[in-house]
Amino acid sequence: MQSDLTTEPRVAERLTVAVPAHTVWAAVSDVRRMGEWSPECRGAWVPGRAGALRPGSRFLGRNRAAWLPWVTVCRVVESVPGKLFAFDVSFFGVPLSRWVYRFAETPGGCEVTEEWHDRRRGLPGKLLTATAPLLTGVVRRPARNRRTVRTTLIALRDTLEGRR
């Protein structure tokens, strides 16, 4: 299953990690671990699955930004070991976002790029955008995601390099 990764991300941050790309990919693609690094995602529940997620695999993302927790439905759209991991996020059937992680080998490690693509479109997307601050406490989603993406990448690096 080939995903459409041609749209410009609303947020993209990159960071170099002193471990091989396959190691970083393995950590990120184990979505249950995301709560270790992200200030907003508290982890994921993967129904009846063990091992690597493949395109088409679904999972529930557990999140909390301010006062209320919420759950999203996620579907892996691309997974290339050591290179790429991407998934779409929806809430009550309304597309929210696509998260993309790219891994590029560098001398002594790899560069990790985390991207957030806003997929809220049409009337359902506008309604969700308007009500999201009431549910999540986040008013400026792109600005919030820029901060949390950077924080997530730093925590991921620190964990994988043994700094935490």
pLDDT tens-digit readout, 91-150: 888 888 899 999 999 999 999 999 989 887 665 556 655 555 556 655 566 677 788 889
> Does 89 have pLDDT greater than 80?
yes
Residues of the chain with pLDDT > 70, as a percent, come to 77
Residue 124, CA distances (Å) to 67, 121, 139, 162 in order: 24, 7, 18, 43
What is the rounded CA–CA span in Å between residue 82 and residue 20?
8
Segment 27-48, tens digit of pLDDT: 999 999 999 999 888 889 998 7
What is the rounded CA–CA span in Å between residue 98 and residue 106?
25
Model confidence, pTM? 0.85
Between residues 98 and 4, the one the model is more confident about: 98
DSSP state of 143: H
The pLDDT-based confidence of 1 (bands split at 50, 70, 90) is very low
pLDDT recorded at residue 147: 82
Between residues 78 and 116, the one the model is more confident about: 78
Instruction: At 51, give phi and psi (nearest 5°).
Output: 90, -170
Average pLDDT, the chain: 84
Read off the tokens for 83: 């290179």
